[in-house]
Structure 1
Amino acid sequence: MTTYSFRLFVAGRTPHSQEAELNLRLLCDSRLRSRYDLQIVDAVERPELAEEGRILATPTVIRLSPPPQRRVVGDLSDHHRAAVALGLPSESEHSREVRS
């Protein structure tokens, strides 16, 4: 089973940042269960990581693995669209993997 790794860039603990984190966790829990790692990076506190990741706006999530990297900017409130953009398995695919 593939483990997914994400880095979510936010700017402080704003409601918008918290919403993006909550949406990403809900999305990963529903489609990946425990097969993911999530790192939250405050771009204000860690500007060198934001620069390294070429972050132009927050919140931005980068799927680090499996390759290739993918990124989504925004609060991820449209779960289906975010899942497709991040290349996540559909909920039905996840259910088949769990049963196998």
Structure 2
Amino acid sequence: MGKKVQNKYGEFENTLTSEKKGDKYILRLFIAGTSPRSREAIANLKELLEENLKDQYELEIIDIYQQPKFAKKGQIVAAPTLIKELPRPIQKFVGNMSNKEKILLGLHIKKKEDIIDD
């Protein structure tokens, strides 16, 4: 089982260098079990992504309780944490993903003036 997870992680790493992923957002959400905060972060993030990046993203959800080595490798100190791997630069967001404006700005999906006008 550990080897299968590691291979999955390796496959995900390969997508980061794949040219065919050019305009896709590659995201990882690190959660801590099935706590209400983790479930809320997943729901908030999926809603945001579907509304703003439909068919333009890949999201991997990693439970740091089940796969602690990935949390260490990703330097995760709090959960939930979202990491935007691509497009560069790498960005990190911590919390329940309810501050949609902050995430949209950080992902470079919207500009500050676009959010102020909403």
Q: TM-score range by the shorter chain?
A: 0.7 to 0.9
- Does structure 1 residue 85 correspond to structure 2 residue 103? no
Contact preservation (8 Å) 1:9, 1:43? yes
- C-alpha distance in 2, partners of 1:89/1:3? 16
Q: Which amino acid aligns with 1:42?
A: D
Identify the match of residue 53 of structure 2 among 32, 35, 43. Answer: 32
Question: Unmatched 5+ residue regions in structure 1?
Answer: 94-100
The 3-state SS of whatever aligns with 2:54 is coil
Q: Which has the larger radius of gyration?
A: 2
Higher RCO (CA < 8 A, seq sep 6+): 1
TM-score, structure 1 length as denominator?
Answer: 0.84
Q: Among the aligned pairs, what percent are the same residue?
A: 35
Residues 1-100 of structure 1: matches in 2 within 5 Å? Answer: 2-89=23-110
- C-alpha distance in 2, partners of 1:52/1:42? 13
Count how many residue pairs are aligned between Structure 1 and Structure 2: 91
- C-alpha distance in 2, partners of 1:12/1:48? 15
Question: Unmatched 5+ residue regions in structure 2?
Answer: 1-21
The 3-state SS of whatever aligns with 1:68 is coil
Contact preservation (8 Å) 1:72, 1:86? no
TM-score, structure 2 length as denominator?
Answer: 0.72
Contact preservation (8 Å) 1:9, 1:41? yes
